[in-house]
Amino acid sequence: MAGNCVYAMLPCFLVLLHFIQVRAMGALSPLDPSSFSKPDLAIMKHVSIFWNVDFDKKILDGSVAINFEVLQSTSELILDVKNLTIEKVELDGTPLQYKVDNEVPPFGAKLTITLPKPAATGDKLKIIIKYITSPSAPGLQWLKPKQTLGKTHPYVYSQGEPVHARSILPCQDTPTVKFTYDAEVTAPKEFTVLMSGLRSEPKNNKTSFQQSVPIPAYLVALAVGVLEYRKIGPRSLVWTEKENIEKSEWELAEVENYLQAAEKLCGKYEWTQYDVLVLPPAFPHTGMENSCLTFLPPSVLAGDRSMSHNVIHEIMHSWTGNLVTNTNFEHFWLNEGFTVFLERKVSASLISDKEEARKSRDFHSLLGLQDLTDTVKDHLGVTNPITRLVPDLTGGVHPDDSFSSVPYEKGSLFLRYLEDLSGGPDVFDDFMRSYIKKFRRQSINSEQFKAYLLDYFKDNQNLKTVDWNTWLYTSGMPPVIPDYDTSLAKEVSKLLSTIYNDNTTIDYNDVKKFTPHQFIHLLQELINRSPLTVDKLRTLGEIYKVSESKNAEIAYRWLRLCIRSRDLSKLNDVFEFVNNQGIMNYIRPIYRDLYDWKEVREQARENFLKQEPDMFHVAAYTIRQDLHIN
């Protein structure tokens, strides 16, 4: 009995210990609960990066030269590091004392550099740090040749967001700080090196880059593989392995139109070049907005441009996220909620019929609301503190652990609510442009947004009624749901009642005219309801020709339905899907559903453990939690 009791209390004890440990490290900065750095003392302004890419050792070996501006007299500089081996720290050719504290998992460690004499406010310092990364750096994935399409050469790519840049370079790994960079990267000559800046032609296996717009550390990005490119617009190239180059060229052919529609809404594109890299299947996100170079997973190549909203999403980050940046990941909705809001406006603006455009925008907002409802009501629970629009990340909550659709969908829904109150799109689009102009190249928090909005609309009585406290700081569903146009969703609801009525027959004509997104909506509605019988689901799958779809959003939802209806015959398809691509938004819910199916739980765990060595670090780490493995 007593023994059991001790075991039952162990998790609480470990959480408490972790909390005490995080606090005791004096760790986390008051500006950013996810960073050790102290940019209020001295701030990074520019970094010169020198890397040699070593595929044999799976490391980046090199140095960074960091230019700091001192803001307050200090004798120390404090940076974030994770799994880095520091070899030397220098100032003007003189070695400096430095200390790496014990690791505070999963945040990494604090690097303290001691200056030979205190620096005064306004001083400029250039610190050179020689170091190597670790093969297990969470911000880098080293792919084996078998994980690429070509199967002959390895590949490496980085993922800095939210707080993994510290495993790639020592830095102030907080979006409070933005800096410019240049880089010189050496790799064997058959490889192409890409980074999140303007690229110069390689010379003697060295490729140089320049990013002259200040960016947060999480946007420093690298990819090295055997790649080809095609020009897809006046300022755009698409890069990928040769096996995917033609599909990529076709799928992304409209990029310049998207950019122009985005500029019409948000103002000039400030980053000069907009390139896209289509990665191998292990890439864990549906997209990543690295500056000048969006990273996309290969599943975006659906063959019908039905994933264009993903591309438009990453394009919109060129304004919200990359130009106006959340000051830390408590304010992540300023990046993602704004970007979803703009993505839906720009996608709709590409439809020439105004009425259709309005309906389409509202339909996508309804899909988002469906997703939010699933997250808040079913997955996290309405009282869960991470369902706040601005969650509290102090006390050791890692941004990867608080990630959900809340900042995306509650955030964009809030903006829509504000747009309706303000008088509609015409008025609110002007506000958006003005907000971007005001805060471009800065990092801001939610209170700064609120103050700017209230000042901009100071004569608007409606906006005085907003209950900011509930919207920003209360858990659960949004306090008000906008009055969306439901015409496109109605066709789906009509069909749903047919499906649940046993006396009607299912016919391909039911869905023949559906857009891929209406079909996605149908499947998501089925997921959110009680499971259909295996027979009914199989009939539905055959008649609606679900397996003919190349859209991963459809395939993912279809497999979840098969799991929920307990169709054992589909288990192989399920494993094949989760083993052949790495998108966390798809494979995590699938693994959670498999966990809930007791008869296959162990098989799911075994499958995961076999795949784990080839998975992106964060995916493996979060799925371990989903499957309750240690």
As annotated, the active-site residues are 314, 408
Structure tokens that stand for 600 in this block: 């296959």
What are the C-alpha distances in Å from 483 to residues 163, 213, 291, 486? 37, 39, 35, 9
Site string for ligand BES, 65-104 (x = CB under 6 A): ----------------------------------------
Q: Applying CB under 6 A, which part among 306-314, 352-360, 369-377, 493-501 lies near ligand BES?
A: 306-314
CA-to-CA distance for 382 and 354, rounded, in angstroms?
36
Q: How far is the CB of 408 from ligand BES (least distance, A)?
A: 6
Task: Work out whether 241 is an interface residue with ligand BES (CB under 6 A).
Answer: no
**What is the smallest separation between the CB atom of 17 and Zn ion, expressed in angstroms?**
34
* Residue labelled with tokens 């720290």: 89
Contacts of residues 624-630 at CB distance under 8 Å and 24 or more positions apart, as own/partner, are 626/588, 626/591, 626/592, 626/595, 627/591, 627/595, 627/601, 628/595, 629/605
**Nearest to ligand BES of 322, 549 (CB atom):** 322
We find the least distance from the C-beta atom of residue 121 to ligand BES, in angstroms, to be 35
Answer yes or no whether residue 359 interacts with ligand BES by CB under 6 A: no
Q: Which of 310, 318, 549, 607 binds ligand BES (CB under 6 A)?
A: 310
Smallest distance, Å, CB 186 to ligand BES? Answer: 28
Residue type, 436: I
Contact track, Zn ion, 321-360, x by CB under 5 A: ---------------x--x---------------------
Site residues (CB under 6 A) for ligand BES, limited to 568-587 = 585
Q: Is 345 in the site for ligand BES (CB under 6 A)?
A: no
With both helix axes pointing from N to C terminus, report the angle between 308-316 and 255-266 in degrees, rounded to the nearest 10: 40
Q: List, in order, residues 6 or more apart from 28 with CB less than 8 Å away.
A: 22, 34, 35, 36, 107, 394, 396
Q: Is 289 in the site for ligand BES (CB under 6 A)?
A: yes
CB of 135 to ligand BES, least distance (A): 21
Q: Does 404 sit near ligand BES (CB under 6 A)?
A: no
| Angle of CA points 579, 584, 586, to nearest 5° | 75
Comparing C-alpha atoms, which of 175, 131, 162 is closest to residue 37? 175
Strand 124-132 vs strand 59-70: parallel, antiparallel, or unpaired? Answer: antiparallel
What region does 425 belong to: left with phi over 0, alpha with psi -120 to 50, or beta? alpha
- Strand segments, DSSP code E, in 187-341 are 192-195, 198-199, 206-215, 222-225, 228-233, 236-240, 275-278, 293-296, 324-326
Give the count of residues interacting with Zn ion (CB under 5 A).
Answer: 2
* Six-digit token string for 453: 């909005």
Residues for the chain: how many in total?
630
Total residues in contact with ligand BES, by rule CB under 6 A: 14
At a CB cut-off of 8 Å and minimum separation 6, what does 629 contact?
605, 608, 609
User: Which residue, 128 or 219, has its beta carbon nearer to ligand BES?
Assistant: 219
Between 364 and 570, name the residue whose CB sits nearer to ligand BES. Answer: 364
54 binds ligand BES (CB under 6 A): no
Contact region with ligand BES (CB under 6 A), list: 70-78, 121-129, 172-180, 308-316: 308-316
* 336 makes contact with ligand BES (CB under 6 A): yes
The reply to whether 386 sits near ligand BES by the rule CB under 6 A is: no
Residues 172-231 that bind Zn ion (CB under 5 A): none
Q: Which residue is associated with the tokens 């009585």? A: 461
Helices (H), 531-616: 534-543, 552-564, 571-580, 584-596, 601-611
Taking the C-alpha atoms of residue 329 and residue 460, their distance in angstroms, rounded to an integer, is 31
Q: Tokens 């009642």 — which residue?
A: 497
251 touching ligand BES, by CB under 6 A? no
Rounded to a whole number of angstroms, the minimum distance from the CB of residue 288 to ligand BES is 5
Does position 154 bind ligand BES by CB under 6 A?
Answer: no
Stated as kind and residue range, the H or E segment containing 64 is strand 59-70
CB of 199 to ligand BES, least distance (A): 22
Residue 50 or residue 556: which is nearer to ligand BES going by CB? 556
Beta carbon of residue 38, minimum distance to ligand BES (angstroms, whole number): 24
| 314 binding ligand BES? (CB under 6 A) | yes
Binding site for Zn ion (CB under 5 A): 336, 339
Binding site for ligand BES (CB under 6 A): 161-162, 285-289, 310, 313-314, 317, 336, 403, 585
